[in-house]
Amino acid sequence: MIATLTGVSHEKLIIFHNWTGWAMFVLALVHTFPFIVVHLQQGDMAMQWNMSIFYWSGVVALVAQAYLQFMSLSFIRNRFYEFFKATHMLAALIFVLFLFFHCDYTLTSWHYFIAAGVLYTLSFLYSQIRTYSEFGLGLRATFDMVSDTTLRITVPARTTWQPTQHMFLRFVALQVHALTSHPFTVCSVPAAAADDDKSTLVFYVQARKGVTGRLAKLAAARGGYTVPVLLDGPYGGIKGKPLSSYDDNLIVACGAGAPFSLGLVMDALLLRRAFAAKAEAGVVTLPRVEVLIATRDPQFVRWYCEALTDFMEANGLPIDLQGIRISVFQTGGSGGNTSRSTTAMSMASATPENEAGVREKSAVSDTKVSSSSDRSIGGSKSLQLEIHTGRPEIGATVRKATRRPGVSLAVVACGPGGVVEEVQAAAAEAQLRILGSGNGGAREVYLHTEHFS
């Protein structure tokens, strides 16, 4: 509800949630220790503990709060996420309950609990009512493994969304997982007329532990497995001006966030078709789009190209990424930072040369991508991608994009925390340069980031 009223998505608000918790914890310690010291000095600490509700209830609340804060540290939360998630709400409930006892209606403190309870209840009811009224109970999610590590979830639904937005999915038939919803980024674009046609929500998920691991096992055992699903959303996404209003677009998608780029590429392709005539006449200028992807999935290129090719065929687009440059860095098994670049990859090519002139057997040739490239639609018969091995120089790529003189640049990044921080540092450097002198590079730099950590 707060996200709806403020226009700030929950993944941004969670930062305030986290730091507010730390502020509360520090204030709780400052509040607690003086009372302990004073009563130890007075020699009546045992009596206060036995006779006053304030002491034992405050200790229980403080222990629960300490658990919440230290379990929320990123290196702990990421390592034990399923356990953290299962115990987070329980610890929060204990904290609120014993804080309620601890306050004991001092200075009308319970009024704040009532107000907080009303707001939380309204927020919960809002999401539930939205789920049932907008999407109903008849939707089903289909699961397929597109690679050994990547799960595709498809949900036909009459709705609309923007690229980079996400939905909360609750899988009804998955036992304990049916009680919780999980956010996934939408990696497709809606049908042209959502009121008349059913759009298809497509999610590409890196299978790990917990619910994603369970779904991956079901999909591997039974391809096309379906379960009832409840939807809530869409949420988040790019705010302000659309990416098409900028001269250049740079999309950085790494790790589990690599499929994040699919919806943006699809949207850019539709934009090129919509304004093709005006662009040729010079009335409008379409943005240059550069996509940088880093992935450990050796089968990524195959299913990524298949997803784009199927989209182009379904929408009557030529099998061509004109004006869109996609560079895929395959990092699996490569520990160095130096990339060995191949020539521009065609879906029909088999053995591209690297810079040293050595023939490499490309992942594309092993994955029968050429069969989908033969299904051309009046245009090029191949889909051009650049395939590299090793790790990309992300910071250098962003800085290079920001140094093009006089352009407006939109940078969109999704991936692990380290990747996002590197993009943020390079973009901040350019923004400070613009604020300082405004010379020597882009005249405007917009940044949108999402974490997959």
pLDDT digits (tens, 9 = 90+) for 274-315: 877 676 666 677 888 999 999 988 888 888 988 988 888 888
Least confident of 23-32, 127-136, 380-389: 380-389
pLDDT in tens, 310-351: 888 888 887 777 788 899 998 875 444 444 444 344 443 333
**Same structural domain for residues 209 and 297?**
no
**Same structural domain for residues 254 and 309?**
yes
**Same structural domain for residues 261 and 382?**
yes
Q: How many whole angstroms separate alpha carbon 145 and alpha carbon 302?
A: 13
Q: What residue type is 143 in one-letter code?
A: F
Find out whether 407 and 247 touch, Cβ atoms under 8 Å.
Answer: yes
pLDDT in tens, 158-177: 888 888 888 888 888 666 55
Q: Which carries the bigger pLDDT value, residue 353 or residue 320?
A: 320
**Same structural domain for residues 31 and 14?**
yes
Find out whether 381 and 374 touch, Cβ atoms under 8 Å.
Answer: yes
Task: Determine the pLDDT at residue 122.
Answer: 87
Strand order in the sheet with 150-157: 182-185, 166-171, 225-235, 140-145, 150-157, 199-206
**Does position 227 have pLDDT exceeding 80, yes or no?**
yes
Instruction: Give the C-alpha distances (Å, rounded to integers) separating 144 from 187, 226, 298, 302.
Output: 15, 9, 17, 15
Q: Which carries the bigger pLDDT value, residue 430 or residue 359?
A: 430
Task: Determine the pLDDT at residue 252.
Answer: 92
Residue 92 in any domain: the answer is yes
**Number of domains within the chain:** 3
The residue assigned the tokens 């090029």 is 380
Task: Determine the pLDDT at residue 453.
Answer: 59
**Does position 374 have pLDDT exceeding 90, yes or no?**
no
Give the SS3 label for residue 226. strand
Task: Determine the pLDDT at residue 250.
Answer: 93
pTM summary value: 0.74
Residue 120 in any domain: the answer is no
Task: Determine the pLDDT at residue 91.
Answer: 92
**Same structural domain for residues 265 and 226?**
no
Parent domain of 346 = 243-451
Count CB neighbours of 390 within 10 A.
17
Task: Determine the pLDDT at residue 196.
Answer: 52
Residue 111 in any domain: the answer is no
| Residues forming a β-bridge with 222 | none
pLDDT in tens, 234-245: 888 888 788 888
Find out whether 270 and 191 touch, Cβ atoms under 8 Å.
Answer: no
**Same structural domain for residues 343 and 274?**
yes
> What's the whole-number average pLDDT of the chain?
79
Percent of the chain residues topping a pLDDT of 90? 12
The mean pLDDT value for 104-132 works out to 85
* CATH label of the domain that carries residue 413: 3.40.50.80
| Residue 47 CB contacts under 8 Å (≥ 6 apart), including other chains | none
Residue 370 in any domain: the answer is yes
Task: Determine the pLDDT at residue 382.
Answer: 56
Task: Determine the pLDDT at residue 371.
Answer: 31
Tokens of 109: 């403190």
**Same structural domain for residues 61 and 148?**
no
